[in-house]
Amino acid sequence: MIRIESVTKRYPDGTVAVDDLTLDIPDGSITVLVGPSGCGKTTTLRMINRMIEPSGGRILLDGQDIAQQPVTALRRSMGYVIQNAGLFQHRTIVDNIATVPRMLGWDRSRARERARELMERVGLDAALAKRYPYQLSGGQQQRVGVARALAADPPVLLMDEPFSAVDPIVRKGLQAELLRIQAELGKTIVFVTHDIDEAIKLGNMIAVMRTGGHLAQFAPPDELLSSPADAFVEDFLGTDRGIRRLSFFTSAGLDVTTTPIVTVDADAAQIAERTLPELPYLLVTDAEGKPLGWAKAEELAAQAADSTGEQPADSTGEQAPDSADGQAPDSADAQAAGSTDAQAADSADAPAAESAERTAAERSPAPAAAAPLLPHGRPFVFGRESLRDALDCAVLSPTGWAVAVDGTGKAVGVTSQETIATAIRGAHARRAAKPDSPDGDAGEPVKALR
Amino acid sequence: MNLLHFLNSFFSDGANWHGENGIPHRLVEHVEYSAIALAIAAAIGLPLGLFTGHTGRGGYALSAFATGARALPSFGLLVLMTVWLGQLGTTPAMVPLVALAVAPILVTAHEAIRNVDPAPVDAARGMGMTSLSVLFQVELPVALPLILGGLRSAAIQVVSTATIAAYISLGGFGRYIIDGLAQQTYAQVVGGAVLVAGLALVTMGLFWAVGRLVVSPGVRRRR
C-alpha cells in the first residue's frame, strides 16, 4: 500500500502545490486523482516516484519511507506513463518496451521476448515491433507507453494524464483496454486526470482535489456521485451525476417483455395478438430475431391483411422475398445487414456503432407500400450493460421503449421508460439499505464491461 | 588566359603530382591540420556543450563566448601566435583553427541537447535512468543530427581556413595559393583554390555519410 502522510509541497517562491495531503492508496486497484488544473494532482503523483521531493510529510511504500530508498531503484519498481507517451524516437517499439528490463540487467533477447509478450497484452500487432514511434498513431504510441511501463512487471503503475492527448474514440478504447489489463494483472495504479468522466469510469477509488492542493473527497465513484462532500465536488461532478450513477446498476433485474415483438413474416392474427394496449407499436425483427425497427401496429396489421388477400407478386415489402419488384427485398436486406453490422461493432465501439446504425436506418427507407419502420435506436445488452444504457435506449427510442438484446444481437425483450424508472427506484432503495455492497452481484463486472 | 586554361595547366603539370610540393603530399598535410584542429575543438566543445545542454546551466556564458570566438580574426590570431610562440611546429596555426571551430561545435551541441523533447526525458527519468544514461541513451541519439551539423560546419570552416597555415611556412593547399601569388603563377593560385573548395565539398559528403550511418532511422525520418 502507498500511504501519503501529511505531505506538503511548497516551492521557493511560496506557491503551495500540495497542502498537508493524507491519502491511503489501496493495493491492487485503480486510484484516480482528479481535479481542476493547479490542484496538485500531478505534483502528488510525481512525489510518489520522487520526481518531485516533498517539502513536508512523508510517503510510505509498504511501510517503508520512500525518501530512504535509492531513487533509481524506487523508480524502476514503479511503471510510469505520461501524457504523450514519451517514447524514445530513436528506438524501435520492441526496444522502447524493453528499456527497463535492460536497465535491470536482462540480456537483450530475453528483454525483447518480454517486450513482444507485452505488445500482445496491450493489443499491439506484432508486426509493429520493428517500427519506430513516428510510424505509429497516437493511440498506438500510448499503448506502447503502457507496455513499456509494465515491462518489468512492477507492482505499482503511475499514470499521469495518459489518455488526455488522444481523440475521444481512441481514448475510449484505451480506457477499456486498461480496465481489461487491470482485471488480468491487478496492479496498484495511481491515475491522474482532469476528466471526471474518465475518473468515474476507471477508478475504484477517486480522490477529488481542489486548487491549492487540498483533498476535497476520497470515495468510490458510486458514493462520490450519490453523496458529494461539498458544493465544490458537486459542481465538479456536473449536472447529470444522477444519470451517471446509473452506470453502477446492472440491467439484469429489469422487467422486459417479449410480447410486442414480431418477425417480418408475421400474419395478421399474430400481429393482433401481440399488440399491447399501452403500446401502439410492434418491434419487427428479421427471421433470426435481430431487431429491424418499430412499426405502427395498425399499419402492420393492414399490410399483413393485404399480403394474405392478394398474390405474392403484387405485394411489396419484406413479406415477399421472391417479389417481382427487385427494389423492395434489397432494401429490406440492406436494413437487416446494417443492423447486424452495427451490433457486431457495438461491443468494440458504442458511439461509432450507434451512428453507423442511425445512418443505416436513414439510408434504407422502409419498402414503399409496407408499414414504415422507425429506427429502434441503440439496443442495450441485457444483464451486461447498466440501467444507464437501458434508460438511454428508451429515451432515444421514438416509441419510448428500449430494446434489450443478448450478446449475439437478438432481441430478448422490450421495456418502457416507466419500467426502467421503477427499476432505478428499486436499485436506489436496495443500495440505501446495504450501502457497502454493489447492486446485485454485478457491481464490478458492470463497471469493467462498460 | 581563362579559368579553364589555368586549371588545365595546373592539373596537367606532372610536377604537381609528386614530390614535396605535389598535390598528394599537400592533401595529406591539409587533411592532417584540419583533422587535428577539429579533433581538439570537438574535445573541448562537445563535452562542454553536452554538459551545459543537459543541465541547462551556463547558456548565457556560452553565447557570450561564442560571439567572442566568432569575432576573432583567424589571420590576426595566426600572426599573434607566431610572434608570441615563434615557429613552434604547427601550434601557431592550430590556435586560430581551433578557436574558429569550437564555437559552432559547442553552441550546436548545447542547443541540440537543450531542445530535445522533454517528454521522453521525463519518461526516462521516471523509469529510473541515471542522469548520464538519460544524456547518452535518450538525449544524445535524438540530438545527433544537429550535433553532426555543428561538427560539419566547423569542419568546413577549418578546411577552408587551414590555407593560412602556409603563411607561416607550413604546408597544405595554402602553399599553392601563397606561393602562386608571390611568384605570380596564377594557374597555381586557381588550382590551390579549387583543391580547397573540392576538399570542403568532400568533407560535407563525409559528414552526410556519417549521419546516415550513426543516426537512427527513427530520428532521421522525422526531420
Contact B127 A74 (CB under 8 A): no
* Residue A176 predicted with pLDDT over 90: yes
Same domain for A61 and A139, yes or no, is: yes
Encode A229-267: b = buried (16+ Cβ within 10 Å), e = exposed.
Answer: eeebbbebbeeebebbbbbbbbbbebebeeebbbebebe
Q: Please tell me which of the candidates B122, B215, B221 has its beta carbon nearest to residue A86.
A: B122
Same domain for A184 and A325, yes or no, is: no
Mean pLDDT of A359-383: 65
* Residue A213 predicted with pLDDT over 70: yes
CB contact at 8 A, A80 and B125: no
Which site among B127, B129, B142, B221 would you substitute to test the A interface, given the most A Cβ atoms closer than 10 Å to its Cβ? B127
Same domain for A190 and A282, yes or no, is: no
Highest mean pLDDT out of A359-373, B85-99, B171-185? B171-185
- What CA–CA distances, in Å, run from A362 to A263, A303, A416? 21, 22, 24
Among the listed residues B26, B119, B18, the one whose alpha carbon sits nearest the alpha carbon of residue A82: B119
Give contacts of A91 with chain B, Cβ < 8 Å. 216, 218
| Predicted pLDDT at B73 | 84
ipTM: 0.84
Which is it for strands A281-285 and A30-34: parallel, antiparallel or unpaired? unpaired
pLDDT in tens, A395-433: 988 888 999 999 898 999 999 999 999 999 988 888 887
Report the chain B residue with the minimal C-alpha distance to residue A149. Answer: B127
Contact A132 B130 (CB under 8 A): no
Among the listed residues A415, A412, A382, A422, the one whose alpha carbon sits nearest the alpha carbon of residue A400: A415
Interface of B with A (CB under 8 A): 117, 119-130, 133, 137-138, 141-142, 215-219, 221-222
Interface of A with B (CB under 8 A): 49, 51, 71-76, 80, 82-92, 99-100, 103, 132-134, 145, 148-149, 158
Contact A103 B127 (CB under 8 A): yes
Chain A nearest-CA distance from B11, in A, is: 46
Chain B nearest-CA distance from A43, in A, is: 13
Give contacts of A130 with chain B, Cβ < 8 Å. none
Confidence grade of residue B1 (pLDDT, cut at 50, 70, 90): low
Domain of A201 in residue numbering reads as 2-246
Domain of B14 in residue numbering reads as 3-220
Contact A89 B125 (CB under 8 A): no
* Residue A35 predicted with pLDDT over 70: yes
* B79, three cell numbers: 600572426
CB contact at 8 A, B142 and B117: yes
Q: How many domains does chain A have?
A: 2
pLDDT in tens, B34-72: 999 999 999 999 999 999 999 988 878 887 888 888 788
CATH no. for residue A430?
Answer: 3.10.580
* Residue A371 predicted with pLDDT over 90: no
Confidence grade of residue A315 (pLDDT, cut at 50, 70, 90): very low
> Which are the contacts of B76, defined by CB distance < 8 A and separation ≥ 6?
none
Give contacts of A105 with chain B, Cβ < 8 Å. none
Chain A nearest-CA distance from B133, in A, is: 10
CATH no. for residue B158?
Answer: 1.10.3720.10
Q: Please tell me which of the candidates A92, A103, A145 has its beta carbon nearest to residue B128.
A: A103
Same domain for A135 and A274, yes or no, is: no
| Predicted pLDDT at A118 | 94
Contact A132 B221 (CB under 8 A): yes
Same domain for A205 and A319, yes or no, is: no
Q: What CA–CA distance (Å, rounded) separates B106 from B116?
A: 16
Q: What CA–CA distance (Å, rounded) separates A264 from A294?
A: 11
* Residue A262 predicted with pLDDT over 50: yes
Q: Please tell me which of the candidates B119, B215, B217 has its beta carbon nearest to residue A86.
A: B119
Which is it for strands A78-81 and A156-160: parallel, antiparallel or unpaired? parallel
Q: Which of A190, A216, A246 is the last residue of a domain?
A: A246
Report the chain B residue with the minimal C-alpha distance to residue A92. Answer: B218
Give contacts of B215 with chain A, Cβ < 8 Å. 90
Q: Which of A217, A246, A275 is the last residue of a domain?
A: A246
Q: How many domains does chain B have?
A: 1
Contact B129 A83 (CB under 8 A): no
Contact B129 A72 (CB under 8 A): yes
- What CA–CA distances, in Å, run from A189 to A2, A44, A150, A155? 10, 14, 11, 9
Mean pLDDT of B120-139: 95
- What CA–CA distances, in Å, run from A428 to A368, A418, A432, A438, B167? 47, 15, 6, 11, 97
Query: B89 or A371: which carries more pLDDT confidence?
Result: B89
Chain B nearest-CA distance from A359, in A, is: 39
Report the chain B residue with the minimal C-alpha distance to residue A82. Answer: B123
Q: Which of A207, A222, A246 is the last residue of a domain?
A: A246
Order of all β-strands in the sheet with A30-34? A78-81, A156-160, A188-193, A30-34, A205-210, A214-219
Same domain for A219 and A347, yes or no, is: no
Q: Would A368 be classed as within a structural domain? A: yes
Report the chain B residue with the minimal C-alpha distance to residue A130. Answer: B218
* A4, three cell numbers: 501519503
Which segments of B135-185 does DSSP mark as H helices, in order?
140-161, 174-183
* A65, three cell numbers: 519511507
Q: Would A251 be classed as within a structural domain? A: no
Beta bridge partners of residue A160, listed in sequence order: A192
* Residue A313 predicted with pLDDT over 50: no
| Predicted pLDDT at A335 | 44
| Predicted pLDDT at B131 | 94
Residue reference for cell 425497427:
A293
Length of chain A measured in residues: 450
* Residue B90 predicted with pLDDT over 60: yes
Outline where DSSP puts E strands in B24-92: none
Q: What CA–CA distance (Å, rounded) separates A230 from A113?
A: 50
Mean pLDDT of A243-256: 89
Residue reference for cell 429489469:
A254
> What is the phi/psi pair of residue A81, to 5°?
-125, 130
Q: Would A137 be classed as within a structural domain? A: yes
Same domain for A226 and A310, yes or no, is: no
Of A250-264, A297-311, A386-400, the least confident: A297-311
Q: Would A218 be classed as within a structural domain? A: yes
| Residue % of chain B over a pLDDT of 90 | 64
Same domain for A241 and A271, yes or no, is: no
Same domain for A224 and A361, yes or no, is: no
| Predicted pLDDT at A436 | 55
* Residue A367 predicted with pLDDT over 60: no
> Which are the contacts of A109, defined by CB distance < 8 A and separation ≥ 6?
none
CB contact at 8 A, A86 and A146: no
* Residue A311 predicted with pLDDT over 60: no
Same domain for A235 and A170, yes or no, is: yes
Same domain for A229 and A378, yes or no, is: no
Contact A72 B128 (CB under 8 A): yes
Confidence grade of residue A346 (pLDDT, cut at 50, 70, 90): very low
Same domain for A237 and A319, yes or no, is: no
- What CA–CA distances, in Å, run from A20 to A5, A31, A37, A218, A401? 8, 19, 18, 15, 51
Q: Residue type for B140, please?
A: L
pLDDT in tens, B11-35: 888 888 888 889 999 999 999 999 9
* Residue A364 predicted with pLDDT over 60: no
| Other C-beta atoms lying within 10 Å of the C-beta of residue A6 | 12
For residue A215, the 8-state DSSP code is E
Q: Residue type for B61, please?
A: A
Chain B nearest-CA distance from A68, in A, is: 16
CATH no. for residue A76?
Answer: 3.40.50.300
* Residue A33 predicted with pLDDT over 60: yes
